[in-house]
Structure 1
Amino acid sequence: MTTQHEPRTTETIAALATARGTAALAVLRVSGPDAVAIVDAMFSGDLTEAEGRTVHVGWVTGADGRRVDQVVCVVWRGPHSSTGEDVVEVTCHGGDVVAGAVLRALFDAGATPATPGAFTQRAFLNGKLDLAQAEAVADLIHAESRLGHRAAVSALRGRVSEAVGAVREALVQTAALVELELDFGEEDVAFADRTQLRDLLDTADRELADLIGTARLGALARDGVRVVLGGRPNAGKSTLLNALVGDDRAIVSPTPGTTRDAVEAEAEIGGLRVRFVDTAGLRETADAIEAEGTRRARAAIDRADVLLYVVDATVGLDAEERTFLADLAERQPEVAVLVVANKTDLLAAPLGPEAGPLALSAQAALADDARLDALRAALLDAVRAGGLDAAEGGLVAVNERHRAHLEAAREAIGRARTSLDAGDGGDTLALDLRDALHHLGLVTGAVTTEHVLDAVFSQFCIGK
């Protein structure tokens, strides 16, 4: 259940809700106590007594008395609207000139220009959705992959809020009993069973740990997977990049050291947005420019979600490369590493099945090679090994703001468990529980501050 908050303004706002540019239609949104009256002032029909969920066709007239466009107005009466207020959606013909003229007519009639996220913010303030759902609206708009879309829809449906709300509700009941004990402190009455309380805190800690663990999955869904192609010079990294994205993004040359700086390209694989990064070859060199390229390549590998380490199949991995990969696995175990044997077409004898799906010829794959599909599948498997399957199943994925508050709540629960084990007084326990509840409330908006709301809604586009 969402909470209704005190509205921050009573102004009636208006904005273009569709993208600018040439199009068949454009939609403008008006929301606020005077929404119907403002649209009625520029509309040829009579909207003053219009009921909610009704459609009206007429002409918009500008302040100079000239007709601007024939439009369709849909009236929504609060609280049964997207924002909880009176809302009118005006559909006009597309194009910047027409839509701009209708918007000017709305402003002339008394509407105030909407700020980014203003409509969704009003929906939140009026209890139409909670803060996590409001953030999901922005994620849905900016989704660039099918997984990102599914994660945003899941959050919009309330999956994140339900998971956080369940933990918070259990803590609320317990905190209430602890607070009650404080009221009867002189009578030495215990309302909260300590064994049950410890079990509840343990359960809350596990559930919060699981939610925090989805932050990386949420980042993958929203931002995509960063796959870095690394290896020795002339191993065929650039050719493989071009094959994976189906485009000549990187310059290919038989001369070692051609790639000096990172080259990025994107593709969608299995519904997941993948950002491939081709890097300079890793080797010691006296050339200052190539050395800088090598330094940048190592930095890119350190930021990777997955490393495709490309090896010339005619040469194989040398001892230095094996040491490098071993050190990487120890230093950054979260980076999945796939070793790709490239240039198999140059081998005297083809590699047998034991070579696995990561042996291929990127040059041949530019035409059509089933091994390239096998590499894509192996790439997805590597990401799934990091927990992507869980995201695709339950699809509960928190963002970085959620993660920060969930970690703070978990720390407070940890302190509460320590106090409980030490037999400390109920006042210390109550303070820790209040702190945990505060941070959980900040996730869904049950607790809000001006700073939090401004930070969240400033990420939206105007008109949403």
Structure 2
Amino acid sequence: MIYHDTIVALATPSGAGAIAVIRLSGPEAITIASSVFQSVSGKDITKQKSHTLHLGHIVDDTKVLDQVLLSIFKGTNSYTGESTIEISCHGSTYIQQQIIQLLLRKGCRMAQAGEFTLRSFLNGKMDLSQAEAVADLISSDNEAAHQIAMQQMRGGFSNEIAKLREELLNFASLIELELDFAEEDVEFADRTQFNDLLNRIEFVLKRLIDSFAVGNVIKNGIPVAIVGEPNVGKSTLLNALLNEERAIVSEIAGTTRDTIEDELVIGGIGFRFIDTAGIRETKDVIESIGIKKTFEKIEQAQVVLFLIDSLQLIIDDENKLKIEIEKIKNQFPLKPLVVVINKIDSLNQEQKKSLSKKLAVINYSSLIKISAKENIGVDELKNKLLSFVNTGALRNNETIVTNTRHYDSLLKALEEIQKVKYGLQTNLSSDLMAIDIKQALYYFGEITGQVTNDELLGNIFANFCIGK
């Protein structure tokens, strides 16, 4: 249900702090605020200009609750597209609650999750994809996710979709016109130009759909599983990557019996590292459960780091490692596998020569030598991980899709466009092509909010925080 009353909510995180911001929005926002605000200069805030600040006190009858700074945004010149007041008060939770309760008694209603941004969308201040980008911007925790959210919030994605939709709509109008003159057998839509347009739309849709693979991992972080036999240094590597003692390190094999996860930003991209239990034959029930979880985590990971003890590699036959690499690659063929040779700091010169000979025989391209304990080669490993992410689109400021709802609509729009192309190639009647064109336009409209319903809006804005 859509409301048009005056709402209030805390716009800053809950809890005590230096400053808190309480936001009101709606037709009575300024009137209600004026009933509890006393300006130190005696001004009537209902008569003040938009985008002005006023120092004063929030007063409940004769009781002064706090000295505040009040911001006025009149009419459509606000985030929500309606009269808005923001009260910057001191960050005491008691003060926050007292002011909000006072405003509720004066006629405000407590805002629902995302209702301020919902009103912004309904009042035409932004389209639906831009509104969703607001939530992504708030939750962004690395440079890449922030960059994509900002690009979408500025309308980069929606502008691209809107342009395609407008061109397709123009041709749809000509097709519809042909239906009105069906008995005269005339063509208003140039079929060659129409085919060129469909090819261009198909190209753009495929590019946007392909970008989701990158956008999804940037938004949610790239899971990286660290696997290997017990006591090869997996926990030490996790600690070296994070630059903190996150995992327990011990000479006792099987110390890590459960998965340990933590996140790290490399080159503006979020990576989620998963330190797993060592893979070996064991009769220990608890350790067996940990090993089972290791394979589950490899399934969930997008990159696998296979850690090897350099001393053990020198002792073993090189074919053993080649077999293990092939085994993992065959089991998880779509996951990049990086072989990490650890503990090179413990090798003497003779052992280093022996290691180099063995690695030459193994001849695996994604192989890095490190010492997790001494932090040797860790930066090279980070760069290797970063190479698995296609950051070219980011550098070129291209549109990247991160939203599953958008991805689904793009797939459906592409399917309809391909139907129209087939119809054009097979001389399908205009009335049947018109149906597919309308369906494609529908899916374009779903992305930007030109086609919507209360259920869809409810699902989208329920994921927002209160106060935004």
In structure 2, what is the Cα distance between the partners aligned to 1:328 and 1:169? Answer: 47
Compute the displacement of 1:150 (Å): 1.1
Of the structure 1 ranges 398-407 and 194-203, higher mean CA displacement relative to structure 2 is found in 194-203
Of the candidates 75, 86, 95, which is equivalent to residue 78 of structure 1?
75
Residue 82 of structure 1 aligns to a residue whose secondary structure is coil
1:30-60 per-residue CA deviation (whole Å, 9 max, x = no partner) reads 1111111100111124222222122222211
Of the structure 1 ranges 203-212 and 188-197, higher mean CA displacement relative to structure 2 is found in 188-197
Residue 302 of structure 1 aligns to a residue whose secondary structure is helix
In structure 2, what is the Cα distance between the partners aligned to 1:112 and 1:374? Answer: 55
In structure 2, what is the Cα distance between the partners aligned to 1:204 and 1:83? Answer: 33
Do the aligned residues in 1 keep the contact of 2:12 with 2:22 (CA within 8 Å)? Answer: yes
Of the candidates 192, 197, 201, which is equivalent to residue 194 of structure 2?
197
Counterparts in 2 of 1:208-287, with a 5 A limit? 208-287=205-284
1:327 partner amino acid: N
Does 1:424 pair with 2:428? yes
Residue of structure 2 equivalent to 1:327: 330
1:131-181 per-residue CA deviation (whole Å, 9 max, x = no partner) reads 111111111111111111111111111111122222222211221111111
Unmatched runs of 5 consecutive residues or more in structure 2: 314-319, 360-365
Of the candidates 296, 300, 311, which is equivalent to residue 299 of structure 1?
296
Do the aligned residues in 1 keep the contact of 2:259 with 2:277 (CA within 8 Å)? Answer: yes
Compute the displacement of 1:199 (Å): 2.1
Residue of structure 2 equivalent to 1:390: 393
Do the aligned residues in 1 keep the contact of 2:79 with 2:120 (CA within 8 Å)? Answer: yes
1:55-81 per-residue CA deviation (whole Å, 9 max, x = no partner) reads 22221112x531111112111111111
Unmatched runs of 5 consecutive residues or more in structure 1: 1-6
Does 1:436 pair with 2:433? no
In structure 2, what is the Cα distance between the partners aligned to 1:305 and 1:169? Answer: 38
Of the structure 1 ranges 348-357 and 70-79, higher mean CA displacement relative to structure 2 is found in 348-357
Residue of structure 1 equivalent to 2:150: 153
In structure 1, what is the Cα distance between the partners aligned to 2:91 and 2:438? Answer: 52
2:149 partner amino acid: A
The count of corresponding residues between Structure 1 and Structure 2 is: 447
Does 1:98 pair with 2:92? no
1:374-395 per-residue CA deviation (whole Å, 9 max, x = no partner) reads 1111111122xxx222134224
Does 1:358 pair with 2:368? yes
Of the candidates 446, 449, 453, which is equivalent to residue 450 of structure 2?
446
Compute the displacement of 1:294 (Å): 2.4
Residue of structure 2 equivalent to 1:53: 51
Does 1:345 pair with 2:345? yes
Of the candidates 1, 11, 17, which is equivalent to residue 17 of structure 1?
11
In structure 1, what is the Cα distance between the partners aligned to 2:437 and 2:312? Answer: 61
Residue 314 of structure 1 aligns to a residue whose secondary structure is helix
In structure 1, what is the Cα distance between the partners aligned to 2:210 and 2:450? Answer: 23
Residue of structure 2 equivalent to 1:378: 384
Residue 434 of structure 2 aligns to a residue whose secondary structure is helix
RMSD: 2.0
Compute the displacement of 1:8 (Å): 2.8
Residue of structure 1 equivalent to 2:316: none
Compute the displacement of 1:457 (Å): 0.8
Residue of structure 2 equivalent to 1:3: none
Do the aligned residues in 2 keep the contact of 1:357 with 1:374 (CA within 8 Å)? Answer: no
In structure 2, what is the Cα distance between the partners aligned to 1:55 and 1:420? Answer: 60
Do the aligned residues in 2 keep the contact of 1:147 with 1:392 (CA within 8 Å)? Answer: no
1:373-432 per-residue CA deviation (whole Å, 9 max, x = no partner) reads 11111111122xxx2221342242221111011111111112212222222211221111
Does 1:35 pair with 2:45? no
In structure 2, what is the Cα distance between the partners aligned to 1:95 and 1:154? Answer: 35
Do the aligned residues in 2 keep the contact of 1:60 with 1:71 (CA within 8 Å)? Answer: yes
- TM-score normalized by the length of structure 2: 0.91
In structure 2, what is the Cα distance between the partners aligned to 1:329 and 1:201? Answer: 37
1:241-287 per-residue CA deviation (whole Å, 9 max, x = no partner) reads 11111122222222333222211011221122211001122334444
Do the aligned residues in 1 keep the contact of 2:341 with 2:367 (CA within 8 Å)? Answer: no
The change in CA–CA distance for 1:82 and 1:324 in structure 2 (over 3 A counts) is: same
In structure 1, what is the Cα distance between the partners aligned to 2:160 and 2:338? Answer: 34
- TM-score normalized by the length of structure 1: 0.91
1:363 partner amino acid: K
Do the aligned residues in 2 keep the contact of 1:357 with 1:375 (CA within 8 Å)? Answer: no
Do the aligned residues in 1 keep the contact of 2:329 with 2:337 (CA within 8 Å)? Answer: no
Identity of aligned residues (%): 40
Residue 213 of structure 1 aligns to a residue whose secondary structure is helix
